[in-house]
Structure 1
């Protein structure tokens, strides 16, 4: 009988790729938060110890710890993700374009622009004190994420809101200011705030609004040629751990 020599063991390759991805994520987590190793170890030991105690109490000293082992690994993984997210958002706080970078962590169903749709600098090329507006589109409607000096940022956001209303007049437009203060949202809470907003559009309407606003484009950026206004921004992919 002839053997099928074309068949290849794909499953081990997938497992190896997955392990390599986990290793890469773990190394990135250690770079962002060196203490993450001890937090993960503590969660693992705590969960496993709990199942050991339960095993002794209920007369299954080997079975219950065996059941608790994958749960302990899962707990360590959750701690790694949470600590990494917190450290990443902590680095974005106070950074130029930090609010826009945080939008990259929005869940599926949202559209957002990689670059700000509007920038206003007090002096050409001075991005440290510039007001910026980033745009996100989801089921709650259009969300304009504003950062920079409050007065100029609010004025710029209102101007951008009028532009959006002219193109999609019946779509809700919400302004969210990122930063510090009573009316501002910290970068680490921006994504959760947007995800908690009440839906107002269907999925099909979100796609249609996104296409129309893409055609609208963005306001001209008041910076000299060759200057990247977001050069100092943190890397989005690094923050997402992708």
Structure 2
């Protein structure tokens, strides 16, 4: 009986030490879990900040910097628009014998006028940056709003010269927009026009050449030129013409995914039968 009591007494300190070790391991594991949770939370916040869109003022600042780099006169034009609106408000206030109120009313309109001027000049600066690059006409066509159907890809491309022909379908009919020197791109445009006239005999097909030469339209005026064209089709006819052209385009061999049509080159080995 005495022996069993002595053995229990001798084993109790080791049991206590093992319990302490288990508790210490549990505390350490809980601390590690808390640290991992904090790191995950910080990573989620950092990801949200990275994906968060810039604010309005930041966007305006970036647009202003880009426009000013292209045309430093934007500062003076914006200042002139702001001061002009304030002057109009001041004159109206003096005539009505309440110039303070009208000056306060004119302040937000002056800021609005300056922002409108900046946006107009920023659009010109953006077009100037892409001018001369392949696909510039397509980028200009993307600014068209409702009423026009514009495919993302050009309807015809010359792999050798990188000349391209884009298409826009609207109430004026079908408009082919050429990109490249007029004399060089004319055969490409005429071929596309003949193909369309075969399937759309009663639909007007017009051609616009983009560029800086004679009888060419600059990129920043392309959207305005299309909107000024005489309307000849109804909205239902526009949808029908687009479906017809889409069916016509589906018969052509599609460009494989990941292939840039502007950099496409024929396989010379395949042409030689190797």
Per the shorter chain, which TM-score range?
A: 0.7 to 0.9
**Distance (Å, rounded) in 2 between the aligned partners of 1:226 and 1:74:** 43
Q: Secondary structure at the match of 1:176?
A: strand
Aligned to 1:187: 219
Give the TM-score of the pair, scaled to structure 2: 0.66
Q: Secondary structure at the match of 2:165?
A: strand
Whether the aligned pair in 2 keeps the contact of 1:92 and 1:187 (CA below 8 Å) is no
Q: 1:182 to 1:37 in 2, by over 3 A?
A: closer
1:31-180 alignment runs, 5 A limit = 31-34=66-69, 35=72, 36-122=74-160, 129-180=161-212
**Distance (Å, rounded) in 2 between the aligned partners of 1:29 and 1:165:** 46
Whether the aligned pair in 1 keeps the contact of 2:168 and 2:176 (CA below 8 Å) is yes
**Distance (Å, rounded) in 1 between the aligned partners of 2:216 and 2:75:** 33
Q: Secondary structure at the match of 1:33?
A: helix
**Distance (Å, rounded) in 1 between the aligned partners of 2:183 and 2:170:** 27
Whether the aligned pair in 2 keeps the contact of 1:139 and 1:203 (CA below 8 Å) is yes
Structure 1, 78-87 or 46-55: larger mean CA deviation: 46-55
Whether the aligned pair in 1 keeps the contact of 2:170 and 2:238 (CA below 8 Å) is yes
Q: Is the counterpart of residue 207 in structure 1 residue 239 in structure 2?
A: yes
**Distance (Å, rounded) in 2 between the aligned partners of 1:169 and 1:29:** 48
Select the residue among 211, 218, 228 that pairs with 1:196.
228
**Distance (Å, rounded) in 1 between the aligned partners of 2:148 and 2:106:** 37
Q: Which has the higher Rg, Structure 1 or Structure 2?
A: 2
Q: Give the root-mean-square deviation of aligned CA atoms.
A: 2.8
Deviation at 1:115, TM superposition (A): 1.1
Highest RCO, 1 vs 2 (Cα 8 Å, sep ≥ 6): 1
Select the residue among 49, 55, 61 that pairs with 1:20.
55
Q: 1:174 to 1:20 in 2, by over 3 A?
A: same
**Distance (Å, rounded) in 2 between the aligned partners of 1:154 and 1:95:** 19
State how many pairs are aligned. Answer: 207
**Distance (Å, rounded) in 1 between the aligned partners of 2:169 and 2:256:** 29
Q: Secondary structure at the match of 1:136?
A: strand
**Distance (Å, rounded) in 1 between the aligned partners of 2:188 and 2:61:** 40
Deviation at 1:43, TM superposition (A): 1.9
Deviation at 1:214, TM superposition (A): 1.7
**Distance (Å, rounded) in 1 between the aligned partners of 2:104 and 2:234:** 46
Deviation at 1:211, TM superposition (A): 1.7
**Structure 1, unaligned stretches of length 5 or more?**
1-16, 123-128, 232-242
Deviation at 1:47, TM superposition (A): 1.5
Give the TM-score of the pair, scaled to structure 1: 0.74
Higher-helix-fraction structure: 2
Q: 1:148 to 1:43 in 2, by over 3 A?
A: same
**Distance (Å, rounded) in 2 between the aligned partners of 1:224 and 1:149:** 28
